[in-house]
Amino acid sequence: MISEHLVDLSRLQFAATALYHFLFVPLTLGMVWLLVIMEAVYVMTGNVIWKDMTRFWGKLFGINFALGVTTGITLEFQFGTNWAYYSHYVGDIFGAPLAIEGLMAFFLESTFIGLFFFGWDRLTRRQHLLVTLLMALGTNLSALWILIANGWMQNPVGAEFNYHTMRMEMSNFWVIIFNPDAQAKFVHTVSAGYVTGAMFMLSISSWYLLRGRDLEFAKRSFRVAAAFGFASVCSVIVLGDESGYTVGEAQQTKMAAIEAMWETEPAPAGLKLVAGINEKEMKNDWEVELPWVMGLIGTRSASKEIPGINEIMAKNRERIYSGIKAVKMLEELRKGSTDPVVYTTFEIHKQDLGFGLLLKKYVVDVDQATPEIVERAVKDTVPKVFPMFWGFRVMVALGFAMLAVFTCALYFSIRGCFAERPWLLKWALWMLPAPWLACEFGWFVAEYGRQPWTIYGVLPTHLSVSTLSVNSLYGSLAGFVGFYTVLLIVEMYLMVKFARQGPGSLGTGRYEYEPVHA
Amino acid sequence: MKNGDRPLVRHLTIAVIVKLLALTLLWWFFIRDAGVHPDTVDVAVHVSGVASQPGVALPSSQLQGVRP
């Protein structure tokens, strides 16, 4: 059996690289639409300040893109090294969207990004705007395919297990594409990217306004960011609610852990704002609750119950015992049994095969699992509640804090007096890290909450890991973390350097702090 | 490309080249020889523990100990 240390190290490596990678992604997703908006205004009005805005913010977008591009490749490395069994088991399904994403990224995104930067003097205004629009579509379509792959890990629909090939095989491509989890995740994630882009522009514009420099440029940028950010943060909240609803349908354990709901409560359940979680005794020592709210938003009904952790664990216990039969029948079939009873029994219990495989963490022969071992496996089916509960609340709190700042920014933009509100400008400046933090906490909740599965209900994490040496994993982990840390430092250095230069760095002669060229 | 863009393009070109070199080095040291290529039998052994289809030799990786 694979050692738990090896599993934890592989998970840590994937989590660290994915979290670093996602520091770059949301800014690209969001900034690109802001560029489309500013350039569209330029094409419509012919006012050159909008072109300058597109070019200047495009520069900062370019820094982030150049530093962020290919940072996802280390994740793909790991599918072939640390997660080879996972790749074999589900590669037929998981590989297709990843391959399409690669093609999208190279042929759409990269081509049009090249044209965006080098096409200003070679294309007409309208042609260049079309390029910017296609760049935005390419960037967002790349995200769509990644999130289809991830959505399938959360809710594996449109696929069947084949015991001959020991793989999950695609039974319906369109079901995978239109998987409700994937679609909800996609719109929620890209909206979070839009918020990130808007907050980035709002914060830097606020800094210019606080310094009293490039006022016309900064004011227009601030207004665009405020309007786009307000619309985006509203989308994130509404679509996040939809994402939560799909989680409640497909991943009840995750939902129960997020809500620290140990027992099934009468419908409609209350929403816990804060709670003192006692993981050991599986209860909350205290809690502050808003009555009915969770039931209404989690089930869209006043009469439907949300199952608590204990009820889910009882169901999972049944599924583990059913899964033991599936594993035994699979073993018989793999030995070459042609007994129709074996085949029929396997088909009956096949949907619980993954639950039977959870026992492989503790015993080689699942038939030998004692009731104590089954209980350990049952407990494994629930992720730790404390980090889920608080991780989710930090994300939501950051989301509402951003809603507040964008609402104020938009309100004072409409009234035309935001530049005379230094408290608002300082607030907007200090909120700069908020969207990144919210994104990272969101991904943590989504992925940690899927444990103990790599493919929810199908493939346990401990069976997905390859048998690598611990030393090689420590080496590659250090290498990846060092690599990403250096990239992040370079990104921050370049961002600060060119943001401080401001639109003067365009060399148009229309702004302050123009660089002197020899 | 305008004059004002040149310093940034220079910076980004260096950054991308260094990044690609770093990725190549990471691949060379940690990934190149670390690839695992399980076939159906390997996965069957890994997942279902002992079984394989008749006529197919069991791989050496089947020899697994019980975790203490």
Tens-place pLDDT, residues A253-286: 999 999 999 999 888 989 999 999 999 999 999 9
Asked if B28 reaches chain A (Cβ–Cβ under 8 Å), the answer is no
pLDDT of the residue at A350: 94
User: Which chain A positions have a beta carbon within 8 Å of B48's beta carbon?
Assistant: 327, 330-331, 334
Q: What percent of chain A has pLDDT over 90?
A: 78
What are the structure tokens assigned to A147, written together? 């999130």
CB–CB of A365 and B49 under 8 A? yes
Give the DSSP H or E segment for A511: none
Q: Considering only CA atoms, give the Rg of chain A.
A: 25
Q: What percent of chain A has pLDDT over 70?
A: 99
Q: What is the pLDDT of residues A449-493, one digit of tens each?
A: 999 999 999 999 999 998 888 888 999 999 999 999 999 999 999
The answer on pLDDT for A425 being more than 70 is yes
Give the DSSP H or E segment for B38: none
Q: What is the DSSP string of A393-434?
A: HHHHHHHHHHHHHHHHHHHHHHHT-GGG-HHHHHHHHHTTTH
> Which parts of chain B fold into alpha helices (H)?
6-26, 40-48
Q: How far apart are CA A257 and CA A263, in angstroms?
A: 11
pLDDT of the residue at B32: 87
Give the DSSP H or E segment for A272: strand A271-278
In this prediction the pTM is: 0.92
Q: Which residue of B has its CA nearest to A362?
A: B67
Average pLDDT over residues A408-427: 96
Report yes or no for ipTM above 0.85. no
What are the structure tokens assigned to A112, written together? 């049009």
CB–CB of B12 and A327 under 8 A? no
Asked if B24 reaches chain A (Cβ–Cβ under 8 Å), the answer is no
Local confidence band at A88 (pLDDT 50, 70, 90 cut-offs):
very high
Give the DSSP H or E segment for A194: helix A180-211
The answer on pLDDT for A22 being more than 80 is yes
Asked if B34 reaches chain A (Cβ–Cβ under 8 Å), the answer is yes
pLDDT of the residue at B1: 54
User: Which chain A positions have a beta carbon within 8 Å of B20's beta carbon?
Assistant: 70
Average pLDDT over residues A313-333: 95
Closest-CA residue to A495 (of A118, A61, A36) = A61
CB–CB of A166 and B40 under 8 A? yes
CB–CB of B8 and A466 under 8 A? no
The mean pLDDT of chain B is 72
The answer on pLDDT for B52 being more than 70 is no
pLDDT of the residue at A154: 94
Asked if B56 reaches chain A (Cβ–Cβ under 8 Å), the answer is no
Q: Is the pLDDT higher at A518 or at A73? A: A73
Local confidence band at A1 (pLDDT 50, 70, 90 cut-offs):
low
CB–CB of A70 and B23 under 8 A? yes
User: Which chain B positions have a beta carbon within 8 Å of A63's beta carbon?
Assistant: 8, 12
Distance from CA of B57 to the nearest CA of A (A): 12
Which of A176-190, B18-32, B36-50 tops mean pLDDT?
Answer: A176-190
The mean pLDDT of chain A is 93
- Within 8 A by CB and 6+ apart from B65, the residues are A1
pLDDT of the residue at B61: 42
Helix, strand, coil share of chain A (percent; to 5): 75, 5, 20
The answer on pLDDT for A362 being more than 80 is yes
Q: Per mean pLDDT, which range of A102-116, A302-316, A367-381, B17-31 is the poorest? A: A102-116
What are the structure tokens assigned to A253, written together? 């354990």
CB–CB of A335 and B53 under 8 A? yes
